[in-house]
Amino acid sequence: MQITYINNDGSGFADKIEIAEGTTIEQLFSQRVSYGQPQDYLIRVNRQPTTADSVLQPGDRVSITPTKIEGAWFGSDFFQRKGTSWEPANGSTVCI
């Protein structure tokens, strides 16, 4: 059977993929995102949150989006490390 799969972890493009009848979300996740943990992703079917044991149907749209992006960091000393702070310059909000 064919579904639409959107992997927002990579390029973000939608692909039509073939999966076996009776495939669950949990099985699809382990096939497509073998390096991640389900709790680190927002998984939706037809734009609705879903459960791991939900069985996919022909024509379903599945999106798997990471909730955390590696490399993103914003700690308490962020501005001190950067060396400058955000200040208005001539009425704009440009970093000077």
Q: Is the residue at 77 inside a domain?
A: no
Rounded to 10 degrees, the C-alpha dihedral 54/31/64/15 comes to -100
In a domain, 95, yes or no: no
Q: What is the pLDDT of residues 25-59, one digit of tens each?
A: 999 999 988 888 888 899 999 999 999 999 999 99
Does the pLDDT at position 81 exceed 90?
no
Residue 76 pLDDT greater than 60, yes or no? no
* Cα→Cα distances 52→42, 44, 48, 55, 81, Å: 12, 10, 13, 9, 41
Q: 94 lies in a domain?
A: no
Inside any domain, residue 84: no
β-bridge mates for residue 92, sequence order: 89
Domain span holding position 47: 2-66
Residue 26 belongs to some domain of the structure:
yes
Read off the CATH number of the domain in which 57 is found: 3.10.20.30
3-state helix, strand, coil in the chain (%, to 5): 15, 30, 50
The overall average pLDDT reported for the chain is: 79
